[in-house]
Amino acid sequence: VNRFILISSILVNGAAMGQLLNPAYIFLNVFGLTLVAKLQAENHIRKSGINYTIIRPGGLKNDPPTGNIVMEPEDTLYEGSISRDQVAEVAVESLAYPESSYKVVEIVARPDAPKRAYHDLFGSIVQR
């Protein structure tokens, strides 16, 4: 395996972000500490040495895409939603852009967001 794309979730690091009382953080951890497990998986991938992109989408919608993709660095977004189609598109596009390597990105869709090329979206993220 030369490349690993992991779909995770915004708020995966909610405790460190001060979001312990965020309703979404509470809900997603009620059944089996889902976000805690996702954070453990992310940390394992980071330490593995493999070339990765970790994508943390907002709330997933089954509806067709509405709005343009907003991409932010890890531990930045704590609300918002995005269509599953757009999440899949970001995952596939991350394979084509070296700017996405060794990065964690958070994504949501917003109607008022400008349309940006994937090169610009991935290139604007500075990894910590």
- With vertex at residue 96, the alpha carbon angle to CA 38 and CA 111, rounded to the nearest 5 degrees, is 70
Query: For the chain, which residues make up each domain, given as ranges?
Result: 4-124
CA distance 22 to 15: 10
Instruction: Kindly report the CATH number that applies to the domain delimited by 4-124.
Output: 3.40.50.720
* Parallel/antiparallel/unpaired status of strands 103-110 and 68-73: antiparallel
Residue 113 dihedral angles phi and psi, to the nearest 5°: -75, 140
Concatenated DSSP letters of 77-126:
--S-EEEHHHHHHHHHHHTT-GGGTTEEEEEEEETTSPP--HHHHHHTPP
User: What's the pLDDT at 97?
Assistant: 94
pLDDT < 50 stretches in the chain: none
- The structure tokens 């805690």 sit at 36
Q: What's residue 20's pLDDT?
A: 74
Predicted local distance difference test score (pLDDT) of residue 17? 77
